Amino acid sequence: MTDDHPPVPDQRSGAGAPAAGASPGPDTEAEWSRAVKILDGATEICLACHVRPDADALGSMLAVAHALRARRGAGAQILASFGDRPFEIPRILRFLPGTGLLSPPDQVPARPAVMVTFDAASPDRLGLLEPNAAQADELIVLDHHASNTGFGTVNLVDPAAAATAVLACDLVGRIGAELTRDVALGLYAGLVTDTGSFKYPSTTPRVHEMAARLLRTGIEPGVVAHELWDRSPFAFLGLLSAALGRARLEPGAAAGLGLVWTTVTRADRATAGLPFEVAESVIDVVRRTDEAGVAAVLKEDEAGHWQVSVRSKGAADVGRACVALGGGGHTLAAGFAASGTADEVVTALRKALAGALADVNQ
């Protein structure tokens, strides 16, 4: 799983100490205190993560759902969901404890008293639940994207955090909930995903301290890694072969850093009988190309739109480029959604990369 966070096409035209790995600034303490007070007094709490959830989004949300249910008992109704239709848990995330706690988006109250969002940088990332968030009496936003629009009544946003799971872990501690194995497993899945198995620059000593704390609950890192990265149906090999067979290398693109890109079409998936989510891992193979500092995979969804994953090896800020194209993400991993031919989309990406690099080098 990866942390692209491209938006869907627009259909409208403290109780505990901060967890290890958290880095809230002093001006955020009032926001944390207010969030804890709101949650302590709520009788109904709705949790929502972004559409097409990755391990950080879903793992963080389920961890907090476990913590709230254990802490509040029968004192509050806890409901968790995400705004996709059809409402399907990604195959590789079904190992996370608590998936049985999830409810379809049509069961979320139209006007929640309290709503908490996870890993969503803007309200449109909530998909079908965007109207519910807009009508919530209190909207608590947990996120680590620099592009976050601050759309909550309480915004717990820290771009320095390695993952939303870091903030979710902090919240678990502040509400005084126990860090059980089920809570820790969701948090660990988010942390290991958004740090690239602890390879990305966001991996700090405090991140490893948080990972150690989570591992002490008894979770097995090898099991998590196997579920997230080391399994796929046999038909995926055919899809991967098709995508790699049409890969293109453009050494002069991205200001000479090089761009490698390919596509995964609906026809590829239909031939193999595979859902959209299996295309997510293709970028992890394409980005290995030595001659390219930037990699992109265009994945065609069921509506015929391209969901584009973009990766950088460090010299290019792909987050800035994807924001310019209506998407978002991080410096090294980002994404956007687009329509048109694949060549048209890549042309727009080339221009955005050139503009982003020019801005950085000024």
Helix, strand and coil percent figures for the chain, each rounded to 5: 45, 15, 40
Per-residue model confidence (pLDDT) at position 4:
60
Per-residue model confidence as pLDDT tens digits over 156-200: 999 999 999 999 999 999 999 999 999 999 999 999 999 999 998
Q: What angle do CA 284, 294, 84 make, to 5 degrees?
A: 55
Interacting residues of 94 by C-beta distance below 8 A, sequence separation 6+? none
CA dist., res. 232 & res. 240, Å (int): 11
Asked if pLDDT for residue 13 goes beyond 60, the answer is no
Q: Which of 63, 59, 53, 47 is closest to 103 using CA atoms?
A: 47
Is the previous residue joined to 90 through a cis bond, with omega within 30 degrees of 0? no
Counting residues of the chain whose pLDDT is more than 90, the rounded percentage is 85
Task: Please give the radius of gyration of the chain, using alpha carbons only, rounded to the nearest integer.
Answer: 20
Considering the domain 26-229 in this protein, what is its CATH number? 3.90.1640.10
Confidence of residue 73 (pLDDT cuts 50, 70, 90): low
Q: Which residue has the tokens 């940088």?
A: 121
Query: What average pLDDT does the structure give for the chain?
Result: 91
* Amino acid letter for position 179: L
For 262, the 3-state DSSP assignment is strand
Domain boundaries of the chain, sorted by first residue: 26-229, 235-361
Sign of CA dihedral 152, 90, 72, 127: positive
CA dist., res. 28 & res. 295, Å (int): 36
306 bridge partner residues: 300, 338
Does 25 or 265 have the greater pLDDT score? 265
* Amino acid letter for position 134: A
Confidence of residue 297 (pLDDT cuts 50, 70, 90): very high
Per-residue model confidence (pLDDT) at position 12:
23
Per-residue model confidence as pLDDT tens digits over 17-71: 344 444 444 358 999 999 999 999 999 999 999 999 999 999 999 999 999 999 8
Q: Is the separation of the CB atoms in 170 and 24 below 8 Å?
A: yes
Per-residue model confidence (pLDDT) at position 360:
53
Q: Which of 121, 127, 128 is closest to 151 using CA atoms?
A: 121
Per-residue model confidence (pLDDT) at position 41:
92
CA dist., res. 29 & res. 362, Å (int): 35
For the beta carbon of residue 110, count every other beta carbon within 10 angstroms.
Answer: 8
Considering the domain 235-361 in this protein, what is its CATH number? 3.10.310.30
DSSP summary character for residue 149: -
Torsion of CA 48, 113, 162, 213, to 10 degrees: -100
Per-residue model confidence (pLDDT) at position 72:
74
Asked if pLDDT for residue 8 goes beyond 70, the answer is no
Per-residue model confidence (pLDDT) at position 71:
87
Average pLDDT over residues 109-134: 97
* Amino acid letter for position 313: K
Per-residue model confidence (pLDDT) at position 23:
43
Per-residue model confidence (pLDDT) at position 359:
59
Q: What are the tokens at 299?
A: 């994945």
Average pLDDT over residues 295-318: 96
Interacting residues of 119 by C-beta distance below 8 A, sequence separation 6+? 5, 49, 50, 53, 54, 56, 57, 60, 142, 143, 144, 145, 164
Counting residues of the chain whose pLDDT is more than 70, the rounded percentage is 90
